[in-house]
């Protein structure tokens, strides 16, 4: 989350006129994250998140995201729900951007996850995968293998500004993964961005998942690999096998991994690290002037990627069948 587009009082009043939410009481920008403009909105009828879609979000994909959140909620998963206008429409426009209001979820995200948190995230991710099984819509993952080369092309000329040799490092990874990327793994709806700031906890228990704007159709194990990167490394970039074991075991309790998924895990984790290295690199080099945003350090994912380069099996991630 971030703020790239400012919303004036006039913009907000005109937008809210289509809803039965009463007058706005306060609007506060949310600086965390890097993708869309997000505000915490309080009205006479409650508290909501107002999202203005920017950057990588294709407006044509928005019905997929909104309908997915509604579908997952019907299946028992706690996630934000789009708020519809009096005309029954969830998607609107504000300040020249497509925008939506969603319900506010109580809870806090965890800055220092423990193995117990990781186990719950594993279970929740598997529940999400199961809940999406009968979702009728599909969306290609634009930030998987085929999308990495265009991302790199836009940043490679300045990559060595981050650290010398980064251009060659990324180029070598892209070439390697293009040769070994696994095919025909079990797939369906994945979250694709289930980082700690997208998972809420209350009193030590997972209370909800947010930010479905990278959700797509891809392999379930790739989604798990994203979570291994996001949840199971320590601040010094060392991998915590105890957390990895907790996450993978939690997932498998709900949806068992296939043998092919387990075999592919090191390559998938390597690819997931490269994906976030590339998007962080692009964001780091292209912060718009005046934007209220905190770009994330791409070097974190260089360090994680170096770990994955030496992993030989799922046992390196804590898998114990």
Q: Which of 103, 125, 145 is the last residue of a domain?
A: 103
Contacts of 175 (CB under 8 A, 6+ apart): none
Contacts of 321 (CB under 8 A, 6+ apart): 262
- Report how far residue 147's alpha carbon sits from residue 144's, in angstroms, rounded to the nearest whole number: 5
Same structural domain, 158 and 302: yes
Question: What are 106-154's pLDDT values in tens digits?
Answer: 999 999 999 999 999 999 999 999 999 999 999 999 999 999 999 999 9
Same structural domain, 143 and 278: yes
Same structural domain, 95 and 141: no
CATH code assigned at 60: 3.30.200.20
- pTM, to two decimals: 0.93
Same structural domain, 54 and 126: no
Nearest Cα to Cα of residue 73 among 193, 267, 208: 208
Same structural domain, 41 and 138: no
296-to-21, 274, 280 alpha-carbon distances in Å = 35, 14, 6
- Report how far residue 57's alpha carbon sits from residue 176's, in angstroms, rounded to the nearest whole number: 28
Task: Identify the residue whose tokens are 């939690």.
Answer: 250
Question: What are 165-205's pLDDT values in tens digits?
Answer: 999 999 999 999 999 999 999 999 999 999 999 999 999 99
Question: What are 279-296's pLDDT values in tens digits?
Answer: 999 989 987 665 556 678
Q: What is the mean pLDDT of residues 257-263?
A: 98
Question: What are 25-66's pLDDT values in tens digits?
Answer: 999 998 765 578 889 999 999 999 999 998 768 889 999 999
Same structural domain, 81 and 52: yes
The pLDDT of residue 241: 98
The pLDDT of residue 1: 40
Same structural domain, 44 and 130: no
Contact yes or no for 79/73 (Cβ under 8 A): yes
Name the region of 95 (left: φ>0; alpha: ψ -120 to 50; beta: rest). Answer: left
- Report how far residue 252's alpha carbon sits from residue 209's, in angstroms, rounded to the nearest whole number: 19
Report the run of H or E that residue 175 belongs to, with start and end: helix 166-180
Same structural domain, 99 and 136: no
**Residue-averaged pLDDT of the chain:** 94
The alpha carbon torsion through 52, 63, 211, 218 (nearest 10 deg) reads: -140
Q: Which of 75, 103, 131 is the last residue of a domain?
A: 103
Same structural domain, 183 and 307: yes
* Percentage of the chain lying above the pLDDT 90 cut: 88
Q: For 140, which DSSP code?
A: B
SS3 158: helix
Nearest Cα to Cα of residue 11 among 103, 99, 114: 99
* Percentage of the chain lying above the pLDDT 70 cut: 95
**How many residues appear in the chain?**
321
Same structural domain, 79 and 26: yes
- Report how far residue 64's alpha carbon sits from residue 86's, in angstroms, rounded to the nearest whole number: 21
Same structural domain, 95 and 123: no
Q: For 157, which DSSP code?
A: G
Domain count, the chain: 2
Domain range for 74: 9-103
CATH code assigned at 252: 3.90.1200.10
Q: Which of 3-7, 92-96, 172-176, 215-219 has the lowest mean pLDDT?
A: 3-7
Contacts of 227 (CB under 8 A, 6+ apart): 121, 122, 125, 194, 247
The pLDDT of residue 321: 80
């Amino acid at each position: 989350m971030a703020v790239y587009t400012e919303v004036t009082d006039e913009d907000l009043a005109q937008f809210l006129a289509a809803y039965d939410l009463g007058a706005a009481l306060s609007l506060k920008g949310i600086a965390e994250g890097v993708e869309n403009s997000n505000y915490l909105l309080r009205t006479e009828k409650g508290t909501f998140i107002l999202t203005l879609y920017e950057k990588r979000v294709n407006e044509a994909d928005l019905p997929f995201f909104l309908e997915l959140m509604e579908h997952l909620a019907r299946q028992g998963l706690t996630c934000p729900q789009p708020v519809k206008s009096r005309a029954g429409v969830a998607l609107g426009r504000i300040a020249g951007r497509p925008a939506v209001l969603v319900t506010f979820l109580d809870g806090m995200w965890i800055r220092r996850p423990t193995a117990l948190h990781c186990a719950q995230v594993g279970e929740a991710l598997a529940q999400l995968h199961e809940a999406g099984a009968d979702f009728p819509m599909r969306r290609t993952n634009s930030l998987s293998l085929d999308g990495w080369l265009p991302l790199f092309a836009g940043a490679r000329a300045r990559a060595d500004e981050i650290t010398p040799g980064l251009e060659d490092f990324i180029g070598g990874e892209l070439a390697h993964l293009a040769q070994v990327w696994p095919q025909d793994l079990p797939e369906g709806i994945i979250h694709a961005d289930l980082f700690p700031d997208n998972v809420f906890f209350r009193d030590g228990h997972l209370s909800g998942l947010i930010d479905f704007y990278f959700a797509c159709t891809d392999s379930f194990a790739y989604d798990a690999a994203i979570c291994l990167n996001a949840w199971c490394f320590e601040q010094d970039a060392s991998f915590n096998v105890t957390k990895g074991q907790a996450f993978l075991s939690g997932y498998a309790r709900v949806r068992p991994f296939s043998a092919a998924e387990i075999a592919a895990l090191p390559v998938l984790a390597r690819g997931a690290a490269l994906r976030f290295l590339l998007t962080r690199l692009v964001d780091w080099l292209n912060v718009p002037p005046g934007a209220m945003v905190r770009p994330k350090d791409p070097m974190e994912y260089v360090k994680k990627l170096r770990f994955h380069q030496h992993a030989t099996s799922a046992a390196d991630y804590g898998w114990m069948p």
